[in-house]
Structure 1
Amino acid sequence: MKNFRKYTLVLLSFVLTQAGMAQDNAAELAKKLANPIASLISVPFQNNTDYGIGNNNGTKNTLNIQPVIPISINDDWNMITRAIVPVVTQYNITGENTKQSGLADAVVSAFFSPKNSENLTWGVGPALLLPIGTNDFLTTKKFGVGPTAVALKQSNGWTLGGLINQIWSVAGSSERSNVSQMFVQPFVVYNWPSGAGLGANMEWTQDWKNSKGTLWLNPTLSAVTSLGKQKTQVVIGPRLNLAAPDGAKADWGWRAVLIFLFPK
């Protein structure tokens, strides 16, 4: 715990220092990054580490690679594609003295969003579950599909909104249970003119087939900065596991994100 606090303070100091060094367009980049369907190419690397999971005091590290690519369809509409590719390493999750590592299943979404929405930014489209997991414990072995939607309001530095998807399995291994899973993520962020931001989101995953739900609260501190000529955003914060199935709740965790930005 002492080491965690020390590393957290170092990272927080880095974030705050880099915030003061941000360029004039940092505020605009931060505003776009608070919007999951902004017209901005970005490649986030989101790392989540969770400790004290279940009866075996397990540990799980998940690196989510999350490229976002907007595509202009015409003068009125964008299509924003988002992928989440998890790379997982976990210890003592499936049993005592066990380890699994590799890719977990990916989720790919496409949001169709109007370019000129004045009061409310929104997007709707399909979400796909791709069973690319490389370990039996990290994959459903099911292809899935369903709807996804996001809506948000931005004003005076504030961003308030939410994202939702629901995925049902449509093909895959007959030896695995069917998938019916909902994901809900409300979020709020306040960004200062420097590009620094303070925010939080909640991540609720509901497994309807097994009547199991997981709920996380993720407070975050962020800053827009540059690594040489490369624009980036750094995000850090704790992870609080508010609810989980029996034997699967984590004691605590943390999130660190590095996002590479490619503004037009």
Structure 2
Amino acid sequence: MILKPFRATIAATIAPFAIASFACAEDADLAKQLSNPVASLISVPFQFNDDSGYGPNDGDKAVLNIQPVIPFSLNEDWNVISRTIMPVVWQDDIAGDSGSQFGLGDTLQSFFFSPKEPTAGGVIWGAGPAFLLPTATDELLGGEKWGLGPTAVLLKQEGHWTYGVLANHIWSVAGDHNRADVSSTFLQPFLSYTTPTAWTFALNTESSYDWKNEQWSVPINFSVSKLTKFGEQPVSLQIGTRYWAEAPDNGPNGWGVRAGITFLFPE
């Protein structure tokens, strides 16, 4: 009987720490899912990139990528994950004295068919089609071409680490015949580390190769993000930098800035 008040006091003292520990573990798990491009998690990232050095006038370009990720369950074994990249672009003198433009760029729409469970070796993968949609609101903001091709992702998550690669290739199939045809390969090897307190440190490249002009674009990105909550809404905040290791003669150069906010909608 004497121990009952003592036990109650201990329980009352420990409970907040246990709840906080559970919340941290839950946040870390959500943060780690964000490192998986085919996770069964609805998310809406807003990613901002700012780069300079375009063309002979060292033009500037700022892009806000709106990138909703929506998984759909096909059956007990398979998901299909819809990933959209819709850029909102502001640019100035990127092609000499070309002035300023603001509006939508071309949209990339991908669908990944992915097993719900990793393979026996813990490998997670997905593959499917990718579509280039000529949604640009200005001729200098897009290529005015329809395109399609394959896309795939392969990754593994071990402990706090996530590593893998995402790739696609797009060929133009229709559009303005006066504009250049598209044949472009995109390669994104990625590596990230998520801490128990839901911080994520990420390194990747978003390299593309233009087969028509035989030119590489290779930005190397490093970012730090933290998963937190606004009320009950999980949100990931990101800040980072990028360095252009390779770019076309009229492309960006030097250092750029990346920042982002991602809204998560776990089931």
Alignment of 1:113-128 (within 5 A): 113-118=114-119, 119-128=122-131
Distance (whole Å) between structure 1 residues aligned to residue 230 and residue 183 of structure 2: 41
Find out whether 1:198 has 2:201 as its counterpart: yes
Cα deviation, residue 23, structure 1: 4.2
Scaled by the length of structure 2, the TM-score of the pair is: 0.88
Q: 1:166 to 1:144 in 2, by over 3 A?
A: same
Please tell me whether Structure 1 or Structure 2 has the larger radius of gyration of its CA atoms.
2
Aligned with residue 231 of structure 2, among 207, 228, 231: 228
Contact 2:108 2:132 in 1 (8 A): yes
1:67 correspondence with 2:68: yes
Q: Distance in 2 between matches of 1:53 and 1:145?
A: 27
Q: Name the CA distance, whole Å, in 1 between partners of 2:92 and 2:259.
A: 20
Which secondary structure state, in structure 2, belongs to the residue aligned with residue 183 of structure 1?
strand
* Pair 1:142 & 2:145 matched: yes
Measure, in 2, the Cα distance between the counterparts of 1:51 and 1:129.
25
State the Cα deviation string for residues 8-61 of structure 1 (Å, max 9, x = none): xxxxxxxxxxxx9x7441111011000000000000000001133343121110
1: distance between equivalents of 2:62 and 2:176? Answer: 27
Task: Give CA deviations for 1:179-233 in whole Å, capped at 9, x if unaligned.
Answer: 1111100000000011101111101111111112100000011110012221100
Paired with 1:97 and 1:130, the residues of 2 have a C-alpha distance of: 24
Structure 2: 5+ residue stretches without partners: 1-20
Q: What residue is the counterpart of 2:86 in the other structure?
A: 85
8 Å Cα contact 2:172/2:183 also seen in 1:
yes
Question: Aligned pair 1:173/2:169, yes or no?
Answer: no
Instruction: Give secondary structure in 1 for the equivalent of 2:135.
Output: coil
Superposed, 1:1-264 pairs within 5 Å as 23-96=24-97, 98-118=99-119, 119-264=122-267
Higher relative contact order (CA 8 A, sep 6+): 1
CA positional deviation for 1:251: 2.4
Count of residues in correspondence between the two structures: 244
**2-structure distance, mates of 1:47, 1:172:** 28
Runs of at least 4 residues of structure 1 off by over 3 A? none
Cα deviation, 1:40-97, whole Å, max 9, x if unaligned, reads: 0000000001133343121110000000000000000000000000000011212236
**How many Å separate the matches in 2 of 1:183 and 1:209?**
14
Farther-moved stretch of structure 1 (93-102 vs 54-63): 93-102
TM-score, normalization by structure 1: 0.89
CA–CA distance in 1 between the matches of 2:220 and 2:109? 23
Q: Percent of pairs identical after alignment?
A: 50
For the aligned residue pairs, the C-alpha RMSD in angstroms reads 1.4
Provide the rounded CA distance (Å) in 1 between the counterparts of 2:63 and 2:33: 25
Task: Name the residue aligned to 1:16.
Answer: none
CA deviations on 1:144-186 (whole Å, 9 max, x unpaired) are 1100000100011000001000011111111112111111000
SS at structure 2 position matched to 1:30:
helix
CA contact (8 A) 1:52 1:252 kept: no
The whole-number CA distance in structure 1 between the counterparts of 2:213 and 2:188 is 21
Shift of residue 259, structure 1, vs aligned partner: 0.1
| Distance in 2 of aligned mates of 1:53 and 1:225 | 36
Secondary structure of 2:31's counterpart equals helix
- Residue pair 2:54, 2:95 contacting (<8 A) in 1 also: no
> Aligned residue for 2:12?
none
Tell me which amino acid in the other structure corresponds to 2:242. R
C-alpha separation in 2, matches of 1:133 and 1:249: 20
- Give the superposition deviation at 1:247: 3.1
Range 121-130 or range 251-260, more displaced: 251-260
